[in-house]
Amino acid sequence: AVIALAVGAGSYALTGSYPQVRVWQQATAQTPGLLARALDPQAQPLNEEEMARLALGLRTRLQNDAGNVEGWLMLGRTGMVLGNAGTATGAYANAYRLDPKNRDAALGYAEALTRSSDPEDNRRGGELLRRLVSRDHTDIR
């Protein structure tokens, strides 16, 4: 019986979801440092793997702090850098929904929508950009 338990535990460790849980826990623990580096123009830029870990950590944080507009904006930017349209669009949509007057949220959301392969997203993104320009035609971003 003890041998069967040992074999079962060993098999689970190798084939179960424990390795993914460990990666998730590491990403969550590394998020503050990765975020600080991402925001510091003097720091070494994050590589793609670090950006992916930052995105995972941000998603985890936002599960418990869904009203954090800046967190959603950072996740949106990270999604754009990683070429993950779904992450970027969803994150910017949340930021825009939480604070429709936030220009960074509106511009990020519009950009993500206009880059989509869905014509309806493109239409909505263009409409949002036109509204932004009509409100403040001096902002050239």
CB-side neighbour CA atoms (13 Å) of 122: 5
The pLDDT value recorded for residue 77 is 97
pLDDT in tens, 15-47: 567 677 788 888 889 999 999 999 999 999 999
The pLDDT value recorded for residue 20 is 78
- Which CATH number describes the domain made up of 65-141? 1.25.40.10
The pLDDT value recorded for residue 13 is 60
Band (2; pLDDT cuts 50, 70, 90):
low
User: What are the extents of the domains in the chain?
Assistant: 1-57, 65-141
Query: Is pLDDT at 58 greater than 60 in this prediction?
Result: yes
Distance CA 110, CA 91 (A): 12
Residue pair 57/38 in contact (Cβ under 8 Å)? The answer is: no
Prediction pTM value = 0.81
The pLDDT value recorded for residue 137 is 64
Distance CA 125, CA 115 (A): 9
> Which of 68, 140, 134 lies closest to 105 in space, CA to CA?
68
Percentages helix, strand, coil for the chain (3-state, rounded to 5) are 80, 0, 20
Mean pLDDT of the chain: 89
pLDDT in tens, 59-100: 999 999 999 999 999 999 999 999 999 999 999 999 999 999
Question: To 10 degrees, what angle do helices 103-114 and 119-135 make?
Answer: 150
pLDDT in tens, 98-112: 999 999 999 999 999
Distances (CA, A) of 31 to 36, 45, 50, 84, 101: 8, 14, 9, 19, 28
